[in-house]
Amino acid sequence: MLSAMGLIIIAFVIIVSCNKEDSLVPNKADLGADAASGLLKSTTAETYIEFWCDGALPCPLDVELTVATDADVELFARDGFIPDDLVEVLVDGCWLATIDSRDPEGVSGSHPGETHTVSLLAGTHTITFILTESGASGPSGWYYETTEVPFTGGFLMDADGDGICWNEDANDNSNMDPTINIGDCDSGVANMLFPDGTTMMDMIEECMANAKNHGQFVSCVTQLLNGWASEGLISVTDKGVIVSCVGGSN
């Protein structure tokens, strides 16, 4: 196993003497490679990863991150060698960032990297790095580092827990009540989640927010109910129960 000083000296020699990325890859035996995943664990605070793509792009690589308590995580990533890659970063399947290291004038190790923050609940999460473009003739090497900071909840990948990522969710703060309820009146009708990330309750609450009076609210919801009934999303009986709740609301 190389000493920390030995790694520093070798890294310096590689950076100043090489100009081909496939000749810059650190020795797997020295860094303790997991050949199955292509993940190389560095002895520094950063972790080295390699994309073994054989020219097939996009090329994904998953790593696991476990946080003991809810935390915001600052994720730093950089191209370790010739800056000629485009990498997408996902957390638990949701897009976090696109990091573009491509610089025709860049020399090996010149990419400064980027930091992006994500709010994570306690547990094990998957960070996916996807190499989508690369000028390397061999494996592409990157470094990443994670730092936990106090939890804010401001960078959740799926804030409302509806299973739809924040960047694809029309409403990332949906009303996820199990049934449609108006005030104290619970209709018992299922609060359906639509593919765009909105729920029936979201749409009813939008009617309430935009109505200038009770009559406008009733009219708006009635139009929704007519549409849902015609699409077979609710029954005539369901519609009647919801109308009763709406009519009796203040």
184 — phi, psi (to 5°)? -90, 0
Mean pLDDT within 90-94: 97
The answer to whether the pTM exceeds 0.85 is no
- Provide DSSP, the chain: ---HHHHHHHHHHHHHH---GGG-PPPHHHHTEETTTTEE--SSSSEEEEE--TT-SSEEEEEEEEESS-EEEEEEEEE-SSS-EEEEEEETTEEEEEEE---TTPPTT----EEEEEEE-SEEEEEEEEEEEE--SS-EEEEEEEEEE---STTBSSTT-SSS-GGG-S-TT----SEEEETTEEEEEE-PBPTTS-BHHHHHHHHHHH-SSHHHHHHHHHHHHHHHHHTTSS-HHHHHHHHHHHHT--
The CA dihedral of 136, 139, 145, 151, to the nearest 10 degrees, is: 90
Banded pLDDT at 12 (limits 50, 70, 90):
very low
Residue type, 162: D
Give me 105's structure tokens. Answer: 């004038």
For the chain, the C-alpha Rg in angstroms (whole number) is: 26
Banded pLDDT at 41 (limits 50, 70, 90):
very low
C-alpha separations of 49 from 7, 26, 41, 178, 238 in Å: 16, 10, 7, 43, 54
Q: Please write the tens of the pLDDT for every residue from 178-217.
A: 999 999 999 999 999 999 999 999 999 999 999 999 999 9
Banded pLDDT at 53 (limits 50, 70, 90):
confident
Residue type, 229: A
| Spatial contact of 242 and 181, defined as CB atoms under 8 Å apart | no
Q: What is the pLDDT of residue 136?
A: 81
Residue found by looking up tokens 């009763």 in the block: 244
Query: Could you state, in order of their start, the residue ranges of all structural domains in the chain?
Result: 4-149, 166-247
C-alpha 222/C-alpha 242 separation (Å) is 9
Q: What is the pLDDT of residue 44?
A: 57
Question: Given a cut of 80, is residue 16 above it in pLDDT?
Answer: no
Question: Given a cut of 80, is residue 31 above it in pLDDT?
Answer: no
Question: Given a cut of 50, is residue 163 above it in pLDDT?
Answer: yes
C-alpha separations of 87 from 12, 22, 136, 137, 140 in Å: 25, 18, 13, 16, 11
C-alpha 100/C-alpha 82 separation (Å) is 12
The CATH code for residues 4-149 is 2.60.120.680
Average pLDDT for the chain = 85
Kindly give, in sequence order, each residue whose CB lies less than 8 Å from that of residue 17, ignoring residues fewer than 6 positions away: none
Q: What is the pLDDT of residue 178?
A: 97
